[in-house]
Amino acid sequence: MTIAIINPATGETVRTFADHSDAEVEARLELADRSFPTWRKTSFATRAEIVRRIGDVLEADIEEAARTMTIEMGKPIEQARGEVRKTAGGFRYFADHAERLLVDEEVPGTAAKKRSFVTHQPIGTVLAVMPWNFPLWQVGRFAAPALMLGNTALLKHASNVPQTALYLEEACLRAGMPEGVFQTLLIGSDKVEGLLRDPRVKAATLTGSEAAGRSVAAVAGSEIKKTVLELGGSDPFIVMPSADMARAVEVGVKARVQNNGQSCIAAKRFILHEDIAEEYEERFSAAMAKLVVGDPLESSTDVGPLATLSGRDEVADQVADAVSKGARVLCGGKMIDGPGWYYPPTVVAGLTEQMRIYREEVFGPVASMFTVGSIDEAIALANDSDFGLGSNAWTEDPGEQQRFIDELEAGLVFINWMVTSYYDLPFGGIKRSGFGRELSSPGVKEFANTKTVWID
Ligand code: NAP
């Protein structure tokens, strides 16, 4: 893929970028490796000061950073501003809390004469392969904890968000980060294997599709290197009879269409108890139909274009396949004429296992509706998926809540709220949604050497 900014709202190429040459990549890799010993010995206080300042730089640049993302991948500008604020907050959160999260853990009661404890040490340069859908936040949630731990980072961002990738490196330098601690590589995915096999790269994290995750984990595995994989999802959004209907509709719409429907943790499969299914479908479809689709640079826009032409075509194909096999379209479903890669908020019902949409992740503003007769059926349907990232369940019944907590196969269960990433809660999936955790205490330790110490 060429490294270029192609505005999804118009389809026009804004700017192309030359890939870093092999010599440039080598120089950056060498610099990352050389910077590690100094950075790891830099005190927590100094690291925190710099990492906190990255948050300040982002916040000060909010308009420019938000606009860059919107032009690169089409997210509504108000959501882009929110992403800048969230990323800035993430850098500040780990600046303030990493030392506490990484404190040595005393283990009393062993046979050690003096002391036994666990200490968390950085491992070196980590390669981050990142997606375009949250161009700042995905990187921030990896980088803030990894840098606070004392690792150095190389970012290979998605080929359609090069400006954001370069901006991140520049923001780190402006915040006072020593050269080489955080660097961007402008390279295609064909260069990832070589980096993973280089002994100076100690581990990798990938957020993206299953295919990319499989490839990175296979190469890293053959080199015995750790990976964290944050892959796709097809999160269920279960609504039971006792749910607050108005809120479940309002939050359900937001959970489906956030980021123009291109979020791994978007609610994708709405599983409705038969007692409330008809009312929910009606109210939900009416709310989806009211959303404003248009120029993502306009503050009034709810849903902008999809990030890529192929992504838009894929969503249209998935809906067409379902319709050809008997699905009912409750709203949307028709491609929007004109320039840009728009697809309307769409609701489909009457879905069967023969339809692609039943098993595949739909990366666009399309909600799939299912009706079930009991909580057992709801859980069985929710779990009938290769994915296991997030899950949402709406019920006021404590017994039902406990069953969802116990039985949903997912890395996250949100009761009466939409799945969201928070700095102080671990984030990640099971099954084909990946492994490892980002954020909070597990996240800050993913790229650590958890060292056991015994003093006799
Ligand atoms: P993608 O095509 O897999 O791309 C993600 C990154 O991987 C890009 O930097 C891409 O580089 C690179 N890449 C692609 N193929 C590769 C390969 N064979 N080897 C090494 N690197 C490779 O995914 P996407 O379309 O950008 O993102 C959408 C997917 O990400 C969805 O499935 C979504 O659910 C998932 N996602 C998951 C999470 C989570 O936290 N679980 C968060 C956000 C998104 P190029 O751009 O150069 O191809």
pLDDT in tens, 253-272: 999 999 999 999 999 999 99
The band of 154, judged by pLDDT with boundaries at 50, 70 and 90, is very high
Taking a C-beta distance cutoff of 8 angstroms, is the pair 37, 51 a contact? no
Q: Are 166 and 135 in contact (CB under 8 A)?
A: no
Measured from CB, residues less than 6 Å from any atom of ligand 1 are: 1, 129-133, 138, 156-159, 188-189, 192, 207-209, 212, 215-216, 230-233, 264, 361, 363, 389, 429, 433-434
Q: Which among 72, 83, 264, 409 is annotated as catalytic?
A: 264
Q: Name the residue among 275, 273, 282 with its Cα closest to residue 394.
A: 273
Which among 380, 396, 116, 379 is positioned nearest to 248, based on CA atoms?
396
Q: Which of 1, 86, 133 to mutate to test the pocket of ligand 1 (most atoms within 8 A of CB)?
A: 133
Nearest residue to 271 (alpha-carbon basis) of 366, 375, 361, 355: 375
SS3 state of residue 396: coil
Q: Which 8-state DSSP code applies to residue 208?
A: S
pLDDT bucket at 338, cuts 50 / 70 / 90? confident
- Dmax (CA) of the chain: 76
CA distance 361 to 209: 10
Distance 158 CA to ligand 1 centre (A): 7
pLDDT tier, 388 (very low <50, low <70, confident <90, very high otherwise): very high
Nearest-atom number in ligand 1 for the CA of 187 is: 47
DSSP 8-state assignment for residue 293: B
Backbone phi, then psi, for 374, in 5-degree steps? -160, 170
Which residue CA neighbors atom 41 of ligand 1 most closely? 230
Q: What is the dihedral of CA 130, 133, 137, 141, to 10 degrees?
A: -40
Rounded to a whole number of angstroms, the CA Rg of the chain reads 23
The best mutation among 264, 308, 366, 422 to test binding of ligand 1, ranked by most ligand atoms within 8 Å of the C-beta, falls on 264
pLDDT at 286 exceeding the cut of 70: yes
Which ligand 1 atom is the nearest neighbour of the CA of 233? 34
Specify the pLDDT at position 1.
58
The model carries a pTM of: 0.97
Q: Which residues contact 142 (CB under 8 A, 6 or more apart)?
A: 126, 128, 130, 153, 205, 207, 438
Contacts of 251 (CB under 8 A, 6+ apart): 417, 418
Burial of 408 (0-12, 13-18, 19+ CB in 10 A): buried
As a whole number, the mean pLDDT across the chain is 98
Residue nearest to atom 27 of ligand 1 (CA): 208
Confidence band (pLDDT; 50, 70, 90) for 214? very high
Give the closest residue (by CA) to ligand 1 atom 35: 208
SS3 456: coil
- Residue 198, token pair as written in the block: 């280089």
Q: Average pLDDT for residues 417-443, to the nearest whole number?
A: 98
Whether pLDDT at 316 is above 90:
yes
Q: What is the pLDDT of residue 2?
A: 87
The pick from 17, 207, 230, 258 for probing ligand 1's pocket by mutation, whose C-beta has the most ligand atoms within 8 angstroms, reads 207
**Is residue 230 flagged as an active site residue?**
yes
Tell me the CA end-to-end span of the chain in Å, nearest whole number.
Answer: 57
Q: What does the block give as tokens for 216?
A: 């990175």
Distance 343 CA to ligand 1 centre (A): 21
- Closest ligand 1 atom to Cα of 311: 25
Q: What is the pLDDT of residues 362-378, one digit of tens each?
A: 999 999 999 999 999 99
* Cα-to-centroid distance, 129 and ligand 1 (Å): 8
At residue 282, the pLDDT reads 98
For the chain, domains (ranges, CATH) are 2-231+433-455 (3.40.605.10), 235-428 (3.40.309.10)
In DSSP terms, 228 is beta-bridged to 205
Ligand 1 centroid – CA 130 distance (Å)? 6
